[in-house]
Structure 1
């Protein structure tokens, strides 16, 4: 079971996690890009979405999922990654590491120049606050691109 969380402001305008959905998925360590992609396709059908969606999965020290977050929803060709919003969710959920995923509705998971810049920015920002970016994954229709597997991270 994994929970999808959103954020809302409480009575004193502080951000808090709010459970939005629960998904039945295999309970296993998410220490491999294929496992992470499978979990996102099983839960939110990431490879089938018609517009770009950006998700973050917060992980504990043993790569067990603490929760997933839909951080952005874009158009058929782009989605804006908010580094602050991703790290805010990771901190509030108690993450030790995280993986960031987004889909390419075209079906081609090859990273764009902007994807490469976003991965570097997220990795650097995570390192500063002590939350390791485990992987940055782009999901296509029938395949994925993992910066970790490509040894870019």
Structure 2
């Protein structure tokens, strides 16, 4: 970690800039999210064959057009460590108006766990505070998906 260096009676303080780096792209047949199925179709390209749990966010404009996809965490067979800070850092840097969270269950069962529900509530609270709403959380498993919004969990 960089920190201030003392030089005699003066201090040298690091100067930072933040940069969003494009790492690639996805070819999709729709770029505006109108339903959880649209989010599923876009995110499934990254998640469908993953042997481990991955958590990503779809970063959206005010008209729900996807401006970017960011993998927040790539975990183990049945867990992925996710912190609201990493999610909203990406949303702020990309100037997203809102976001949709998506993750997979390699077991094939897209049912939300208690941990999934707790995390989603925490993310929704953070989104409200930052004025970047979490519109949905979609869980993918074995060619199926569940939507927190459709299930009344968000």
TM range (shorter): 0.7 to 0.9
CA–CA separation in structure 2 for the residues paired with 1:100 and 1:125: 13
User: What are the ranges of 5 or more consecutive residues in structure 2 without an aligned counterpart?
Assistant: 1-13
**Rg (Cα) greater in structure:** 2
Q: Does 1:22 align with 2:22?
A: no
8 Å CA contact 1:48–1:141 kept in 2: the answer is no
Structure 1 outlier segments of 4+, above 3 Å: 11-15
CA–CA separation in structure 1 for the residues paired with 2:17 and 2:114: 35
The structure that is strand-richer by fraction is: 1
1:128-147 alignment runs, 5 A limit = 128-147=129-148
CA–CA separation in structure 2 for the residues paired with 1:146 and 1:69: 19
How many matched pairs?
A: 141
CA–CA separation in structure 2 for the residues paired with 1:137 and 1:13: 35
CA–CA separation in structure 1 for the residues paired with 2:79 and 2:18: 27
- Which residue is equivalent to 1:72? 73
Provide, for residues 1-53 of structure 1, a one-character-per-residue CA deviation record: whole Å limited to 9, x for no partner: xxxxxxxxxx94433211111111123421211011111223x2x12210000
CA–CA separation in structure 1 for the residues paired with 2:134 and 2:153: 12
Q: Does 1:106 align with 2:107?
A: yes
**Over aligned residue pairs, what C-alpha RMSD do you find?**
1.3
CA–CA separation in structure 2 for the residues paired with 1:135 and 1:14: 31
- Which residue is equivalent to 2:96? 95
CA 1:70 to 1:28, structure 2 compared with 1: closer, same or farther past 3 Å?
A: closer
User: What are the ranges of 5 or more consecutive residues in structure 1 without an aligned counterpart?
Assistant: 1-10
